[in-house]
Structure 1
Protein backbone atom coordinates (compact mmCIF):
# COMPACT_ATOMS: atom_id res chain seq x y z
CA UNK A 1 0.00 0.00 0.00
CA UNK A 2 1.34 3.41 -0.91
CA UNK A 3 2.20 6.22 1.45
CA UNK A 4 -0.32 8.52 -0.27
CA UNK A 5 -3.17 6.17 0.56
CA UNK A 6 -2.03 5.80 4.18
CA UNK A 7 -1.73 9.57 4.69
CA UNK A 8 -5.19 10.19 3.25
CA UNK A 9 -6.65 7.30 5.26
CA UNK A 10 -5.27 8.75 8.49
CA UNK A 11 -6.66 12.20 7.65
CA UNK A 12 -10.06 10.77 6.72
CA UNK A 13 -10.12 8.42 9.70
CA UNK A 14 -9.32 11.08 12.28
CA UNK A 15 -11.60 13.61 10.60
CA UNK A 16 -14.57 11.27 10.39
CA UNK A 17 -14.17 10.20 14.01
CA UNK A 18 -14.34 13.88 14.94
CA UNK A 19 -17.28 14.58 12.58
CA UNK A 20 -19.19 11.53 13.79
CA UNK A 21 -18.72 12.31 17.47
CA UNK A 22 -19.81 15.90 16.85
CA UNK A 23 -22.99 14.67 15.17
CA UNK A 24 -23.78 12.50 18.18
CA UNK A 25 -23.35 15.16 20.84
CA UNK A 26 -22.98 18.69 19.52
CA UNK A 27 -25.66 21.37 19.80
CA UNK A 28 -24.17 22.86 16.65
CA UNK A 29 -24.98 19.67 14.72
CA UNK A 30 -28.52 19.57 16.16
CA UNK A 31 -29.01 23.10 14.82
CA UNK A 32 -27.35 22.22 11.49
CA UNK A 33 -29.66 19.25 10.87
CA UNK A 34 -32.63 21.50 11.67
CA UNK A 35 -31.28 24.01 9.12
CA UNK A 36 -30.86 21.20 6.58
CA UNK A 37 -34.46 20.15 7.29
CA UNK A 38 -33.37 16.64 8.27
CA UNK A 39 -34.76 14.66 11.23
CA UNK A 40 -32.62 14.32 14.34
CA UNK A 41 -32.60 10.52 14.14
CA UNK A 42 -30.82 10.92 10.80
CA UNK A 43 -28.13 13.01 12.55
CA UNK A 44 -27.47 10.09 14.91
CA UNK A 45 -27.42 7.55 12.05
CA UNK A 46 -25.07 9.79 10.06
CA UNK A 47 -22.76 10.14 13.06
CA UNK A 48 -22.64 6.37 13.54
CA UNK A 49 -21.99 5.81 9.81
CA UNK A 50 -19.15 8.35 9.90
CA UNK A 51 -17.55 6.73 12.95
CA UNK A 52 -17.89 3.30 11.34
CA UNK A 53 -16.34 4.56 8.10
CA UNK A 54 -13.47 6.10 10.08
CA UNK A 55 -12.73 2.86 11.91
CA UNK A 56 -12.93 0.79 8.72
CA UNK A 57 -10.64 3.12 6.76
CA UNK A 58 -8.11 3.17 9.61
CA UNK A 59 -8.11 -0.65 9.75
CA UNK A 60 -7.46 -0.36 6.01
CA UNK A 61 -3.94 0.88 6.75
CA UNK A 62 -3.13 -2.81 7.32
CA UNK A 63 -5.72 -4.37 5.01
CA UNK A 64 -6.47 -3.00 1.55
CA UNK A 65 -9.99 -4.45 1.48
CA UNK A 66 -10.94 -2.38 4.53
CA UNK A 67 -9.32 0.70 2.97
CA UNK A 68 -11.47 0.29 -0.13
CA UNK A 69 -14.66 -0.42 1.82
CA UNK A 70 -14.11 2.51 4.18
CA UNK A 71 -13.39 4.81 1.25
CA UNK A 72 -16.55 3.61 -0.49
CA UNK A 73 -18.63 4.31 2.62
CA UNK A 74 -17.10 7.78 2.92
CA UNK A 75 -17.71 8.48 -0.77
CA UNK A 76 -21.40 7.52 -0.55
CA UNK A 77 -21.81 9.57 2.64
CA UNK A 78 -20.26 12.62 0.99
CA UNK A 79 -22.42 12.24 -2.12
CA UNK A 80 -25.42 12.37 0.21
CA UNK A 81 -24.02 15.46 1.93
CA UNK A 82 -23.37 17.20 -1.39
CA UNK A 83 -26.87 16.43 -2.68
CA UNK A 84 -28.38 17.71 0.58
CA UNK A 85 -26.49 21.01 0.33
CA UNK A 86 -27.51 21.38 -3.32
CA UNK A 87 -31.15 20.57 -2.48
CA UNK A 88 -31.40 23.40 0.03
CA UNK A 89 -29.43 25.73 -2.26
CA UNK A 90 -26.48 26.27 0.07
CA UNK A 91 -23.69 28.50 -1.22
CA UNK A 92 -20.70 26.81 -2.86
CA UNK A 93 -18.48 27.36 0.18
CA UNK A 94 -20.70 25.03 2.26
CA UNK A 95 -20.44 22.32 -0.40
CA UNK A 96 -16.64 22.47 -0.72
CA UNK A 97 -15.73 20.36 2.35
CA UNK A 98 -17.92 17.40 1.33
CA UNK A 99 -16.52 17.67 -2.22
CA UNK A 100 -12.93 17.60 -0.92
CA UNK A 101 -13.71 14.64 1.34
CA UNK A 102 -15.41 12.85 -1.59
CA UNK A 103 -12.28 13.36 -3.72
CA UNK A 104 -10.06 12.05 -0.92
CA UNK A 105 -12.31 8.99 -0.55
CA UNK A 106 -12.22 8.35 -4.29
CA UNK A 107 -8.41 8.56 -4.26
CA UNK A 108 -8.18 5.96 -1.47
CA UNK A 109 -10.74 3.78 -3.24
CA UNK A 110 -8.87 3.96 -6.56
CA UNK A 111 -5.57 3.11 -4.85
CA UNK A 112 -7.15 0.07 -3.17
CA UNK A 113 -9.81 -1.06 -5.65
CA UNK A 114 -7.85 -4.20 -6.54
CA UNK A 115 -8.59 -5.51 -3.03
CA UNK A 116 -12.35 -5.66 -3.61
CA UNK A 117 -12.13 -7.89 -6.68
CA UNK A 118 -13.21 -5.33 -9.26
Structure 2
Protein backbone atom coordinates (compact mmCIF):
# COMPACT_ATOMS: atom_id res chain seq x y z
CA UNK A 1 0.00 0.00 0.00
CA UNK A 2 1.32 3.35 -0.97
CA UNK A 3 0.83 6.24 1.39
CA UNK A 4 -0.85 9.31 -0.02
CA UNK A 5 0.96 12.50 0.79
CA UNK A 6 -0.94 15.73 1.19
CA UNK A 7 0.39 18.59 -0.93
CA UNK A 8 2.73 20.88 0.87
CA UNK A 9 1.54 24.34 1.85
CA UNK A 10 3.78 26.20 -0.64
CA UNK A 11 2.56 24.02 -3.53
CA UNK A 12 -1.05 24.62 -2.54
CA UNK A 13 -0.41 28.36 -2.22
CA UNK A 14 1.17 28.47 -5.68
CA UNK A 15 -1.75 26.59 -7.16
CA UNK A 16 -4.22 28.97 -5.52
CA UNK A 17 -2.25 31.99 -6.71
CA UNK A 18 -2.23 30.65 -10.29
CA UNK A 19 -6.00 30.12 -10.15
CA UNK A 20 -6.55 33.66 -8.86
CA UNK A 21 -4.28 34.97 -11.60
CA UNK A 22 -6.23 33.05 -14.25
CA UNK A 23 -9.44 34.46 -12.83
CA UNK A 24 -8.04 37.99 -13.15
CA UNK A 25 -6.86 37.28 -16.70
CA UNK A 26 -10.32 36.04 -17.69
CA UNK A 27 -12.14 39.01 -16.15
CA UNK A 28 -9.73 41.60 -17.54
CA UNK A 29 -9.55 39.86 -20.92
CA UNK A 30 -13.34 39.94 -21.22
CA UNK A 31 -13.37 43.56 -20.01
CA UNK A 32 -10.88 44.56 -22.70
CA UNK A 33 -12.86 42.80 -25.42
CA UNK A 34 -16.42 43.70 -24.42
CA UNK A 35 -16.21 46.98 -22.51
CA UNK A 36 -13.18 48.59 -24.09
CA UNK A 37 -12.52 47.34 -27.65
CA UNK A 38 -16.02 46.72 -29.02
CA UNK A 39 -17.32 50.26 -28.28
CA UNK A 40 -14.35 51.66 -30.20
CA UNK A 41 -15.23 49.55 -33.26
CA UNK A 42 -18.95 50.25 -32.95
CA UNK A 43 -18.37 54.01 -32.85
CA UNK A 44 -19.96 54.47 -29.45
CA UNK A 45 -20.41 58.18 -28.79
CA UNK A 46 -18.13 58.28 -25.71
CA UNK A 47 -15.34 56.42 -27.50
CA UNK A 48 -15.53 58.70 -30.54
CA UNK A 49 -15.51 61.85 -28.36
CA UNK A 50 -12.54 60.59 -26.35
CA UNK A 51 -10.45 60.01 -29.46
CA UNK A 52 -11.51 63.37 -30.94
CA UNK A 53 -10.12 64.98 -27.77
CA UNK A 54 -6.89 63.02 -28.12
CA UNK A 55 -6.64 64.47 -31.63
CA UNK A 56 -4.97 61.64 -33.52
CA UNK A 57 -7.90 60.79 -35.77
CA UNK A 58 -10.24 57.86 -36.27
CA UNK A 59 -7.43 55.48 -37.21
CA UNK A 60 -6.07 55.69 -33.65
CA UNK A 61 -9.44 54.66 -32.17
CA UNK A 62 -9.53 51.60 -34.42
CA UNK A 63 -5.86 50.82 -33.76
CA UNK A 64 -6.38 51.04 -29.99
CA UNK A 65 -9.49 48.88 -30.24
CA UNK A 66 -7.59 46.27 -32.27
CA UNK A 67 -4.73 46.18 -29.77
CA UNK A 68 -7.17 45.84 -26.86
CA UNK A 69 -9.13 43.13 -28.68
CA UNK A 70 -6.00 41.14 -29.51
CA UNK A 71 -4.59 41.60 -26.00
CA UNK A 72 -7.86 40.63 -24.33
CA UNK A 73 -8.13 37.45 -26.40
CA UNK A 74 -4.44 36.60 -25.92
CA UNK A 75 -4.81 36.90 -22.13
CA UNK A 76 -7.13 33.89 -22.37
CA UNK A 77 -4.58 31.73 -24.23
CA UNK A 78 -2.00 30.24 -21.84
CA UNK A 79 0.89 30.36 -24.30
CA UNK A 80 0.23 34.03 -25.20
CA UNK A 81 -0.88 35.44 -21.84
CA UNK A 82 2.54 36.64 -20.65
CA UNK A 83 3.41 38.32 -23.94
CA UNK A 84 -0.04 39.92 -24.09
CA UNK A 85 0.29 41.24 -20.56
CA UNK A 86 3.70 42.70 -21.40
CA UNK A 87 2.30 44.51 -24.42
CA UNK A 88 -0.76 45.69 -22.54
CA UNK A 89 1.47 47.39 -19.97
CA UNK A 90 2.47 49.75 -22.78
CA UNK A 91 -1.17 50.33 -23.71
CA UNK A 92 -1.96 51.23 -20.10
CA UNK A 93 0.99 53.63 -19.93
CA UNK A 94 -0.41 55.30 -23.05
CA UNK A 95 -3.87 55.46 -21.47
CA UNK A 96 -2.46 57.09 -18.33
CA UNK A 97 -0.57 59.66 -20.41
CA UNK A 98 -3.70 60.40 -22.49
CA UNK A 99 -5.85 60.78 -19.36
CA UNK A 100 -3.37 63.16 -17.75
CA UNK A 101 -2.63 65.28 -20.83
CA UNK A 102 -5.02 65.29 -23.81
CA UNK A 103 -8.11 64.36 -21.81
CA UNK A 104 -7.19 66.51 -18.78
CA UNK A 105 -8.67 63.90 -16.41
CA UNK A 106 -5.84 62.54 -14.25
CA UNK A 107 -8.37 61.13 -11.78
CA UNK A 108 -9.43 58.67 -14.49
CA UNK A 109 -5.91 57.29 -14.81
CA UNK A 110 -6.45 55.09 -11.73
CA UNK A 111 -8.02 52.19 -13.66
CA UNK A 112 -5.29 51.91 -16.31
CA UNK A 113 -2.69 52.20 -13.54
CA UNK A 114 -4.28 49.30 -11.64
CA UNK A 115 -4.56 47.28 -14.86
CA UNK A 116 -0.89 48.03 -15.59
CA UNK A 117 0.15 46.64 -12.21
CA UNK A 118 -2.00 43.54 -12.75
CA UNK A 119 -0.49 43.09 -16.22
CA UNK A 120 2.99 43.34 -14.70
CA UNK A 121 2.11 40.59 -12.22
CA UNK A 122 0.69 38.44 -15.03
CA UNK A 123 3.77 39.05 -17.21
CA UNK A 124 6.10 38.13 -14.35
CA UNK A 125 4.19 34.98 -13.46
CA UNK A 126 3.92 33.90 -17.12
CA UNK A 127 7.54 34.68 -18.00
CA UNK A 128 8.41 31.00 -18.58
CA UNK A 129 5.65 30.74 -21.19
CA UNK A 130 6.81 34.00 -22.78
CA UNK A 131 10.40 32.74 -22.99
CA UNK A 132 9.18 29.51 -24.59
CA UNK A 133 7.11 31.50 -27.07
CA UNK A 134 10.10 33.66 -28.00
CA UNK A 135 12.27 30.55 -28.44
CA UNK A 136 9.60 29.05 -30.72
CA UNK A 137 9.32 32.20 -32.80
CA UNK A 138 13.07 32.72 -33.08
CA UNK A 139 13.69 28.95 -33.36
CA UNK A 140 16.37 28.92 -30.67
TM-score by length of 2: 0.74
Superposed CA RMSD: 1.8
Contact 2:53/2:102 (8 A) holds in 1: no
User: How far 1:39 moved relative to its partner?
Assistant: 1.1
- In the comparison of the two structures, how many residue pairs are matched? 114
Aligned partner of residue 22 in structure 2, secondary structure: helix
Q: Aligned to 1:22, which of 29, 39, 46?
A: 39
Structure 1 position 47 matched with structure 2 position 65: yes
Unaligned runs of 5+ in 2: 1-14, 133-140
Q: How far off is 1:52 after superposition?
A: 0.4
Tell me the residue number matched to 1:31.
Answer: 49
Q: 1:101 to 1:8 in 2, by over 3 A?
A: same
Instruction: Sort the Cα spacing of 1:50 and 1:89 in 2 relative to 1 into closer, same or farther, 3 A.
Output: closer
Alignment equivalent of 1:13, drawn from 16, 29, 51: 29
Q: Which has the higher contact order (CA 8 A, sep 6+)?
A: 1
Gaps of 5+ in 1: none
Please tell me whether the aligned partners of residues 38 and 65 of structure 2 are also in contact (alpha carbons under 8 angstroms): yes
Larger Rg: 2
Q: Which residue of 2 aligns with 1:83?
A: 97
Deviations along 1:68-104, whole A, 9 cap, x unmatched?
Answer: 0111121111111112222336233211111111111
